[in-house]
Amino acid sequence: MIPELLDTQRLVLRPFDKDDVNAVFDYWNSDPDWARFNRSVPANYTVQHAEKFVMELISRVRETQPNWAVTLDETVVGIVSLTFEQGHRIAVIGYGIHGALRGQGMSGEALEIVIDQAFNCYAQLRKIRAHMDSQNLGSMRVLEKLGFSREGILRSNQYVNGEFVDEAIYGILRSERSM
Ligand SMILES: CC(C)(COP(=O)(O)OP(=O)(O)OC[C@H]1O[C@@H](n2cnc3c(N)ncnc32)[C@H](O)[C@@H]1OP(=O)(O)O)[C@@H](O)C(=O)NCCC(=O)NCCS
């Protein structure tokens, strides 16, 4: 199984804990991009929303839906999640970092170790993909820097905050990730 604890140069990735609710509330509530680009984030985000989200993350089956609290100096500053499909042959990745820490390469750093561990742990894993609002330039750029390719656009594929949005699909194959 993919490790629960992962270290990078600056970050420690670990399982979420009930005590992380306030940190999750802080970074989601303080950042309009979270709600703008993530359809699962309600507008007018409350502590109760954060609590429900953290409990749902904790309850996920780690073998198929591992997720990590990204911490910097022991403070939760982000999230990386994976969903394995089709017998761990395909995975979908999700991520985000506190608004105050953007542009410092933290997301790339956290994603890189999760992607490498996923390919290392599951020999049958062929591909990791990600879905995002096609306006989410930061999200696309992070993936491109990690070697992902843009695979296409699904037009008007999500209905978010009262409008239809195009969804971009990015993917990376095992053969494209040099480890
Ligand atoms: C998208 C997100 C994860 C990027 O995190 P980050 O830590 O700022 O990314 P990095 O510092 O690793 O930046 C990687 C690259 O993306 C670029 N980038 C980041 N935000 C950008 C933006 N809004 N527009 C254009 N480029 C952007 C950076 O400049 C950097 O490129 P460079 O090194 O060539 O300058 C972060 O903005 C976020 O958490 N957004 C809200 C949640 C979200 O949208 N998650 C993704 C859902 S699919």
Cα(32) to centroid(ligand 1), Å: 14
Listed by start position, the domains of the chain span: 6-176
Q: Is 74 left (phi over 0), alpha (psi -120 to 50) or beta?
A: left
Reading the chain (179 residues) residue by residue, the pLDDT tens digits are 999 999 999 999 999 999 999 999 988 777 777 777 776 677 778 899 999 999 999 999 999 999 999 999 999 999 999 999 999 999 999 999 998 899 999 999 999 999 999 999 999 999 999 999 999 999 999 999 999 999 999 999 988 778 899 999 999 999 998 75
By alpha-carbon position, which residue is closest to atom 42 of ligand 1?
Answer: 96
* Residue list, ligand 1 pocket, CB within 6 Å: 33-34, 37-38, 95-97, 102-108, 130, 132, 136-139, 141-142, 145
Q: What angle do CA 80, 82, 87 make, to 5 degrees?
A: 165
Q: CB neighbours of 86 closer than 8 A, spacing ≥ 6? A: none
The pLDDT of residue 179:
55
By alpha-carbon position, which residue is closest to atom 40 of ligand 1?
Answer: 96
CATH superfamily entry for domain 6-176: Gcn5-related N-acetyltransferase (GNAT) (3.40.630.30)
Whole-model pTM? 0.94
Identify the CA nearest to 107 among candidates 18, 37, 17, 20: 37
The pLDDT of residue 39:
67
